[in-house]
């Protein structure tokens, strides 16, 4: 049954033993969430990738990936991730919304026309992804805490991330799993349905380079039903979009190549949670008010604390007297 209030939770790095629980979450996401596919082999690889990323100490962001889960009621009820940098050996694709000016002095015409330009990034910005909370627990507002936990990790380990953080928001997909944008544009080049292409992209993006149209797509030439979904977010993604906008994220003029969902970005040091967070040295019993607290360690832990820091709080956060922590 859905919960009516926030109960004690713990956010931590994902572990190998979380595979079944994470697969159960992934099975509830629906189409369009490529970063969290309902495929055990892919999820197992993503979990191992995250474990390996926490073990190393990079001096600059590379292809590391950090995944976190939320525990509540002895269950894994949510998941979220950060990738240190998109691109690398496996490039990141998007459509950039551009404008072309068409002029004719003879006719007195001066008009701007929008078009979609294929963009390929090999060394892009850090990206947050995979935010998902079990539907049974959504009424508790847990998604915001999961998202903020990622920002606390970035604040604690800034050298692992770029100066800009981005997020790709899920675009409009109907109840049958069809993307109006896909159906009206790139499907003509792929000869397959949206869900199949979406799934294949989680395994290997090479086919995108082979099949994507390389020339600009002029937006006014598309059907109205296609134009109206460009840059729109999925209904289930609207709360996440609203939260990120409140954190300082804004659209950066790029949309997804499959569903045309918008990409948002912000300078890392301008993220509201990071700006407002504070580092402190632990004294058992110290009162920090009502706050979201991280232990500032690679063995990362985050929980809500209300009032004085109790031994139960510090034990669950793996914190000892005199150690540094961060709170917001």
The CATH number that applies at residue 213 is 3.40.630.30
> 90 - beta bridge partners?
87
pLDDT tens digits, one per residue of 222-270: 999 999 999 999 998 899 999 999 999 999 999 999 899 999 999 999 9
- In three-state secondary structure terms, 5 is coil
User: Which residue do the tokens 């859905």 mark?
Assistant: 2
Confidence of residue 205 (pLDDT cuts 50, 70, 90): low
User: Which residue do the tokens 């929008």 mark?
Assistant: 114
- Is residue 325 predicted with pLDDT exceeding 90? yes
91 and 21 together in one domain = yes
Number of domains comprising the chain:
2
pLDDT tens digits, one per residue of 130-184: 999 998 888 788 999 999 999 999 999 999 999 999 999 999 998 888 899 999 9
Look at residue 5 and tell me if it is in a domain.
no
80 and 118 together in one domain = yes
CA nearest neighbour of 137 among 248, 4, 25: 4
Look at residue 3 and tell me if it is in a domain.
no
187 and 210 together in one domain = yes
Rounded to an integer, what distance in angstroms lies between the CA atom of residue 304 and that of residue 145? 9
254 is catalytic: no
pLDDT tens digits, one per residue of 275-305: 999 999 999 889 999 999 999 999 999 999 9
Q: What is the pLDDT of residue 6?
A: 54
Rounded to an integer, what distance in angstroms lies between the CA atom of residue 32 and that of residue 80? 16
Rounded to an integer, what distance in angstroms lies between the CA atom of residue 246 and that of residue 249? 7
> What single DSSP character describes residue 213?
-
Confidence of residue 203 (pLDDT cuts 50, 70, 90): low
pTM for this structure? 0.90
165 and 281 together in one domain = no
Look at residue 117 and tell me if it is in a domain.
yes
106 and 255 together in one domain = yes
292 and 268 together in one domain = no
Rounded to an integer, what distance in angstroms lies between the CA atom of residue 184 and that of residue 226? 6
243 and 149 together in one domain = yes
Return the half-sphere exposure (C-beta side, CA atoms, 13 A cut-off) of residue 321: 4
Tokens coding 283: 């004294």
- In three-state secondary structure terms, 119 is strand
165 and 289 together in one domain = no
Return the half-sphere exposure (C-beta side, CA atoms, 13 A cut-off) of residue 222: 23
Rounded to an integer, what distance in angstroms lies between the CA atom of residue 315 and that of residue 328? 19
- Is residue 3 predicted with pLDDT exceeding 60? no
Question: What's the rounded mean pLDDT across residues 88-98?
Answer: 85
Tell me how far CA of residue 133 lies from CA of 144, 154, 164, in angstroms. 10, 21, 25
200 and 282 together in one domain = no
- In three-state secondary structure terms, 198 is helix
Q: What is the pLDDT of residue 4?
A: 42
Look at residue 174 and tell me if it is in a domain.
yes
Q: What is the pLDDT of residue 227?
A: 97
Residues 102, 122, 188, 234: which is the catalytic one?
Answer: 234
Provide the residue range defining the domain that includes 281: 277-328
Q: What is the pLDDT of residue 274?
A: 98
Look at residue 314 and tell me if it is in a domain.
yes
211 and 128 together in one domain = yes
Q: H-helix or E-strand containing 45?
A: helix 40-55
């Amino acid at each position: 049954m859905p919960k009516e209030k926030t109960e004690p939770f713990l956010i931590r790095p994902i572990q190998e033993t979380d595979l079944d629980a994470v697969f159960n979450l992934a099975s509830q996401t629906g189409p369009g969430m490529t970063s969290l596919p309902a495929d055990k082999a892919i999820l197992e690889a993503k979990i191992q990738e995250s474990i390996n990323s926490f073990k190393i100490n990079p001096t600059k962001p590379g292809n590391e990936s950090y995944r976190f889960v939320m525990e509540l009621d002895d269950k894994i009820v949510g998941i979220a991730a950060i990738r240190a940098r998109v691109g690398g050996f496996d490039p990141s694709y998007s459509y950039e919304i551009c404008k072309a000016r068409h002029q004719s002095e003879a006719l007195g015409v001066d008009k701007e026309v929008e078009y979609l330009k294929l963009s390929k990034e090999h060394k892009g910005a850090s990206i947050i992804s995979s935010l998902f909370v079990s539907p049974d627990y959504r009424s508790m507002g847990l998604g915001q805490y999961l998202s903020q936990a990622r920002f606390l990790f970035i604040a604690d380990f800034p050298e692992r991330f770029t100066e800009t953080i981005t997020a790709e928001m899920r675009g409009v997909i109907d109840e049958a799993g069809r993307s109006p944008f896909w159906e009206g544009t790139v499907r003509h080049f792929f000869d397959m349905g949206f869900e199949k292409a979406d799934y294949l992209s989680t395994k290997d993006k090479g086919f995108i380079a082979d099949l994507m149209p390389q020339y600009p797509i002029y937006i006014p030439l598309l059907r109205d039903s296609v134009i109206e979904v460009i840059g729109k977010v999925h209904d289930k993604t609207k709360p996440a979009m609203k939260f990120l906008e409140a954190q300082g994220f804004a659209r950066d003029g790029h949309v997804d190549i499959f569903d045309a969902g918008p990409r948002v970005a912000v300078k890392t040091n301008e993220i509201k949670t990071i700006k407002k967070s504070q580092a402190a040295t632990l004294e058992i019993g110290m009162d920090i008010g009502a706050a979201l607290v991280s232990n500032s360690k690679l063995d990362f832990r985050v929980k809500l604390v209300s009032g004085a820091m109790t031994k139960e709080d510090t034990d669950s956060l793996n914190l000892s007297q005199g150690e540094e922590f961060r709170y917001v």
